[in-house]
Amino acid sequence: PRVLVKGGDWPVERIVGREAVEAAGGRVVSLPLLPGYSTTALLERIRGR
């Protein structure tokens, strides 16, 4: 991929696949976590829980 993105709980140097993405000219980004936003919460909303 051109951009590999992980949550801020992942330091960039520990992201699996970072070296391959960067070697291919892509970049790796660690985005800050936002309170109230999560994959789990999104899935629960979709499922109607």
Per-residue pLDDT tens over the stretch 1-49: 999 999 999 899 999 999 999 999 999 999 999 998 888 889 999 999 7
Contact by Cβ (8 Å): 5, 31: yes
Question: Per the confidence metrics, is the pTM higher than 0.75?
Answer: no
CA–CA dist 36, 49 (Å, integer): 15
**Residue 48, pLDDT score:** 93
Contact by Cβ (8 Å): 31, 9: no
What sign for the dihedral angle of Cα 41, 16, 1, 28?
positive
Q: Provide the residue ranges of all domains of the chain, joining segments of one domain with +.
A: 3-47
**Residue 46, pLDDT score:** 95
